[in-house]
Amino acid sequence: MKCIVVLLVCISIGWVHSRKFLDQVNIARSGEATQSSTFRPEYNAAAAIDGNTDSNLKMGSCSHTGKDNPAWWRLDLKKRYKVGRVVIVNRKDCCSERLLGAEVRVGDSADNNNPVCGTVTNVSKETIVVSCEEREGRYVSVVIPGREETLQLCEVKVYEPSDTSEEILFGRFGR
């Protein structure tokens, strides 16, 4: 009987945690994006927050700067948020290595000097998740520092921190 109860609790925790994760809202969609330059008009900064995750540049849903030093893309969330993670969909039809070394920054400065959440160190997968550990700020930026490069982002999603299963089950009701 104890085993069944433990199993049911574990399943419940997993279900609650996965539901919380699935129910999260991509707060980037309500923001306003800008970038250091625009390679072509159809590759504007807003293309990276249009909700389309197609990673083929020619499908028209990726942002693309010219060759800049530094190349950057910035999202104004319009108000301060706690940021739990930033999810980047990298270009996969070509040139994914250009994103290597890019820094994800979150803070209240409209410049590119906010604290770094993380650095892109692997571009072998189309989707890159950067954990920001509840960094607070109004601006989220992706910057390629220290070299002349183009920055191409096919989608950027920003999520507030999610509660852990334990907080959901015990935090509100006590133990």
Global pTM reads 0.81
172: Cα separation from own chain's centroid: 28
What count of Cα atoms within 13 Å lies in the side-chain half-sphere of residue 135?
A: 21
Residue with tokens 């820094």: 103
Report the distance separating Cα 88 and Cα 118, nearest Å: 12
| Three-state DSSP class for residue 23 | coil
> What is the pLDDT, as a whole number, of residue 163?
57
> What is the pLDDT, as a whole number, of residue 4?
66
For 31, residues 6+ apart whose C-beta sits below 8 A from its C-beta are 49, 75, 76, 77, 78, 140, 158
> What is the pLDDT, as a whole number, of residue 3?
56
> What is the pLDDT, as a whole number, of residue 44?
98
Report the distance separating Cα 72 and Cα 35, nearest Å: 6
> What is the pLDDT, as a whole number, of residue 162?
85
Domain ranges for the chain:
25-162
Exposed, middle or buried by CB within 10 Å (0-12, 13-18, 19+), for 141?
Answer: buried
Exposed, middle or buried by CB within 10 Å (0-12, 13-18, 19+), for 63?
Answer: buried
Report the distance separating Cα 147 and Cα 102, nearest Å: 10
Tell me the fold of 25-162: Jelly Rolls (2.60.120)
Q: What is the mean pLDDT of each run of 10 residues along the chain (175 residues)?
A: 55 47 85 98 98 95 98 99 98 96 98 96 97 96 98 98 51 34
